[in-house]
Structure 1
Amino acid sequence: MLMELSGVGIWSQQLRYGDPGEAAEAAAELEELGFSALWVPDVGGPLFDAVGRLLAATRSAVVATGILNLWMHAPADAAASYASLTDAHGARFLMGIGVSHAPLIDADEPGRYRRPLAAMAGFLDGLDSADPPVPATERVLAALGPKMTALAAERARGVHPYLVTPEHTRSAREALGEGPLVLPEQTVILCSGAEEARAIGVDWLRGYLGLPNYANNLLRQGFTPEDVASVSDRLFDALIAWGDEEAIMRRVDEHRAAGADHVCVQVLTADSRTFPREQWRRLAAALR
């Protein structure tokens, strides 16, 4: 039986790297609030321990990696962890897999990041040949461009694009056709106006725009090098939904109308170290 992925989820670095006790408590509350999946990043550290804690704290929510960084894990080890977590908690672990970014991977080992499409195919080969394997139906790929999207159509259940617009969601749906999942991340800021939104989001966004994979994807979508270099208002507003709950829900609905099966919302606040639990509650009330 395939795990169901619909509705709205939460993408949160706090659930992964914040206090483990509060992360478990917050995960249980997020499930009660009606969020269908919890997504966590992977930029080092014991990923599967964190996933296991979130699965143990919840009863039915999917816990997904957004994304498992394939350069940091051996396929056989990832498959063994998948099997252990699934045995303990049922089919609730969705393995999102990505190739990360050359500046991050090459920082400690220059030249390691190369041929990312081939690296992904090789990692999937390892998951397929593991005993037991990770089924293609329980993994998705962090695909931004057409080649990785095509690979996801062949060898995964769908795509989990990060830092994208509803227009990108529409393109992904058109490329995949009906059936494969399109599961975009949407960054949001609950705030009173544009000045507050930019005070919270510009530096955060600038950090991502310095990574070639994201910058090139935005150029493919029609943004200009100046948009990217300056973090223009046009680019900011396209990537970050800001304002009140109605504004946030309107952007989520745009992704759905463009073909998304599920949208995972990442809430930004002025203090990235704290769990944005008040904001999560406000969004849950708006969803209801």
Structure 2
Amino acid sequence: MTLKQAVGPVGIWSMELRSDDPQQGQEAAEAAAELEQLGYGALWIGGNSTVAHADRLIQATSRVVVATGILSIWEHEAADVAEEHAALERSHPGRFILGLGASHAQLAEGYQRPYSTMRAYLDALDSAPVPVPAERRVLAALGPKMLELSRDRAAGAHPYLVTPEHTAQAREILGAGPLLAPELKVILETDTERARSIARDFLSFYLPMTNYTANFRRLGFGDDDFKDGGSDRLLHAVFAWGGPDKVRERVAEFHSAGADHVALQVVTGDRGVLPRAEWRRLAEILDLGSA
């Protein structure tokens, strides 16, 4: 089975699946098992996640692919990651994807020259006693250079906070072979004003980060789009909301633009809580039970 076949057309992206608290970790493990049964092809553990976080979810499931989305190259030594990856691959072969990212200057201590640092990190993974194979890692790529690196040194790209237009551009750079797995935020709310309020509150955390705004500028957005939690135009570009047909249409837009897999992040306005009811509803909307 190829990686594209293994992850399927849709998965779940969630920070709430990452927890170091035993009680919350147990709930996350139970949720992961349910997500597998619901038919999602991959689970992307949001934020600065680790191989250990993935291991816990893999142990709780039997077949779903689990990925870090992402592991920060600033906070984890490549040699340690390679060793942890090798151990996980021995115990659960083919179940894990190492998602790597350069994070942001606003979040990562010592942030500088992210492209060169990522190349050096990949070199270190390649030269480890048990290397991390390129076909088992993806990069959180936004700009053209990092997308090219995803094509040449990894199995593909996992861009976060992007639009269908970005997906089309990424596919052109990657070519047909590599995996393209963008993240898309979903609000299961039919009231437009309520959905926009939830979206603006959520997006306000990301808009101060220059990597994202620089990428949006390449896509034609400007300063006015970044004010007060985001313009209506920007919200519509990076969120899906509305009734079932609208949600299905937005997911289909990303697939039509070139995505092999769409990592869906359900946003409820209640951060820190596993949105299990919404995940069930989304599986029904996407008809995953018949997949």
CA distance in 2 between counterparts of 1:75 and 1:141 reads: 14
The 4+ residue runs of structure 1 with deviation greater than 4 A are none
Q: Structure 2: which amino acid aligns with 1:202? A: R
Q: Structure 1: which amino acid aligns with 2:105? A: A
Tell me the percent identity: 52
3-state SS of the aligned residue for 2:204?
A: helix
CA contact (8 A) 1:2 1:137 kept: no
* Mapped pair 1:263 → 2:265: no
CA contact (8 A) 1:245 1:282 kept: no
Distance change in 2, residues 1:2/1:76 (3 Å):
farther
Q: Which residues of 2 match residues 1-288 of structure 1 at below 5 A? A: 2-3=2-3, 4-17=6-19, 19-43=24-48, 47-106=50-109, 112-230=110-228, 231-288=230-287
TM-score, length-normalised on structure 2?
Answer: 0.94
- What is the CA distance between 1:229 and its match in structure 2? 2.4
CA distance in 2 between counterparts of 1:178 and 1:105 reads: 33
CA distance in 1 between counterparts of 2:47 and 2:164 reads: 24
3-state SS of the aligned residue for 2:205?
A: helix
Range with greater deviation from structure 2 (222-231 or 72-81): 222-231
Report the RMSD for the aligned CA atoms in angstroms: 1.2
CA distance in 2 between counterparts of 1:22 and 1:247 reads: 30
Q: Which runs of 5 or more residues in structure 2 are unaligned?
A: none
- What is the CA distance between 1:48 and its match in structure 2? 2.4
CA distance in 2 between counterparts of 1:82 and 1:244 reads: 40
How many residue pairs are counted as aligned between the two chains? Answer: 281
Q: Structure 2: which amino acid aligns with 1:264? A: A
CA distance in 2 between counterparts of 1:203 and 1:268 reads: 10
- What is the CA distance between 1:196 and its match in structure 2? 1.0
- What is the CA distance between 1:2 and its match in structure 2? 4.2
- What is the CA distance between 1:201 and its match in structure 2? 1.7
CA distance in 2 between counterparts of 1:282 and 1:59 reads: 22
CA contact (8 A) 1:79 1:132 kept: yes
CA distance in 1 between counterparts of 2:48 and 2:34 reads: 25
CA distance in 2 between counterparts of 1:43 and 1:82 reads: 16
CA distance in 2 between counterparts of 1:165 and 1:16 reads: 25
Q: Structure 2: which amino acid aligns with 1:235? A: L
CA distance in 2 between counterparts of 1:269 and 1:198 reads: 11
- What is the CA distance between 1:204 and its match in structure 2? 1.3
Deviations 1:113-157 (A, max 9, x none): 111000000100010001100000000111000010111111001
Q: Which runs of 5 or more residues in structure 1 are unaligned?
A: 107-111
3-state SS of the aligned residue for 2:263?
A: strand
CA distance in 2 between counterparts of 1:48 and 1:92 reads: 12
Range with greater deviation from structure 2 (192-201 or 126-135): 192-201
